Amino acid sequence: MRVLFFNYEYPPLGGGAGNATAYILREFSKIQNLKVDLITSSTGKEYCLEKIGNNINIHRLPIGKNNENFHFQSQKELLIYAWRAYFFARKLAKENNYNLTHSFFAVPCGPLSLFLKYRKKIPYIISLRGSDVPGYSERFILVYKILTPFIRHIWKKASAVIANSLDFKKLALKTDHDCQISVITNGVDSGEFSPKVFSENDRERVGDFKIICGSRITPRKGFQSMIQAIKIFKEKGFCVKLEIIGEGNEKEDLEKLVIKLGLKSEVEFLGIIKHSDLLKYYQNANVYVSTSLNEGMSNTMLEALSAGLPVIATQTGGTDEMVKDGINGFVIKTNDPADLVAKIEKIRQDFKLEKKMSFESRRLAKKMSWNNIAREYYALYNKVADE
């Protein structure tokens, strides 16, 4: 079987969707009768080819990327990717017989799969990843109004449409109630992200209570609520620290807010951390928090689960799958710092509860391995190819 895969994000470019693609392809490289060509973006000015094993080709196309922001792709860069990927896909489709194409993101990748279906009769799969679903991102409000009919058409012509969480599926169905959407979640490498070790003799917590979170720093992620919660803790005289991993267009405003509230000693912006260095930050934290207003399924939350952190999160994409309220964490209200403080306090005041939730998070993460996720996609590939 041969698959043509589209995703404009791939490490070091992009965020969760790029990392998910990298993990899935790594697992695909272990399947001998599967060959995959990924068309993605280059960080440089030239085309380059990378390989994983003998059966995975990663074709990187230049999109005019500068070195200042790998985490965020502008609309101009998305258009350049789509244009260059279109011509490169035509070339590959002449050279190879593909059983199907697979697009991460309905836009800008979906039109590439749609073109090859019309031109070459190649069926395709769409994986909904976040901003490609109308209503997900405040950044694309105007774009959604223009593109929603086209997005519905891309979904309609697909052999399968896949959301990465139940809540994200619900959001997508608001755009097209009749669309048949399945769920294949993100996964995690439970070997790479291992938990800190609690011993039977550990009776109390050592050091400051530390909260960690990681994502693009945008208004949609609700960071202001998190910072306000830290202010409440400081006013109560409790030493609670917050570490924020990531970059984004709201970072400067949040840094100003931290200074205004007198929280420079309590809130630290870590920027983008190398993937290989993430584990130590998770292991040094006591809880992972997500105050997101809207989410697909957070890879960093999955990594935190695997690292044995209790998780506190708003009710959004992935929460149903990753947070069992009162078992391995808590579900909180949106834009409610007081509720966040109350839930953090339950863990901060009870070290036994923290250890219990740590164990439950790790147990849940082991069920969500990337190997299992890749096998679900491979089964879907075979089903589509046989139709």
CATH number at residue 122: 3.40.50.2000
Q: Please give the pLDDT value at position 202.
A: 63
**Pair 249, 268 in one domain:** yes
Q: Is residue 199 part of a domain?
A: no
On whether residue 330 sits in a domain, the answer given is: yes
How far CA 137 is from CA of 111, 134, 226, 367, in Å, comes to: 20, 8, 20, 30
Does residue 255 fall inside a structural domain?
yes
User: Tens-digit pLDDT profile for the chain (387 aa)?
Assistant: 999 999 999 998 877 789 899 999 999 999 999 999 999 999 888 999 999 999 999 999 999 876 666 666 677 888 999 999 999 999 999 999 999 999 999 999 999 999 999 999 999 999 998 888 888 877 777 888 888 999 999 999 999 999 998 888 999 999 999 999 999 999 998 888 998 876 655 666 667 899 999 988 988 889 999 999 999 999 999 989 999 999 888 999 999 999 999 999 999 999 989 888 999 999 999 999 999 987 777 888 999 999 999 999 998 878 888 999 999 999 999 999 999 999 999 999 999 999 999 999 999 998 888 999 999 999 999 999 988
Distance CA 151, CA 292 (A): 24
- Same domain assignment for residues 158 and 270: no
Whether 192 is covered by a domain: the verdict is: no
In a domain, 24, yes or no: yes
The whole model's pTM is what?
Answer: 0.80
Cα–Cα distance, 199 to 296 (Å, whole number): 35
| Whether residues 320 and 373 fall in one domain | no
Whether residues 38 and 164 share a domain: the answer is yes
Query: Could you tell me if residue 32 is inside a domain?
Result: yes
Looking at residue 205, its pLDDT comes to: 66
pLDDT of residue 327: 96
Radius of gyration of the chain (CA): 21
Q: Do residues 221 and 142 share a domain?
A: no
- Quick check: bond before 12 cis, omega within 30? yes
Asked whether 20 and 1 are in contact (CB, 8 A), the reply is no
Residues 166 and 283 in one domain: no
Amino acid at 43: T
320 shares its domain with 348: yes
258 and 360: one domain? yes
Please tell me the total count of domains within the chain: 2
Residues 348 and 379 both lie in one domain: no
**3-state percent helix, strand, coil for the chain, nearest multiple of 5:** 45, 20, 35
Residues 6+ apart with CB under 8 A from 226: 211, 213, 242, 244, 289, 291, 337, 340
Give me the pLDDT at residue 200, please: 57
pLDDT of residue 234: 94
Q: Are residues 15 and 145 in the same domain?
A: yes
On whether both 70 and 163 belong to a single domain, the answer is yes
Angle of helix 75-95 versus helix 110-120 axis, rounded to 10:
30
State whether 178 and 218 are in the same domain.
Answer: no
- Tell me if 202 is assigned to some domain: no
Domain holding 378, by residue range, is 2-187+369-386
- Residue 194, domain member (yes or no): no
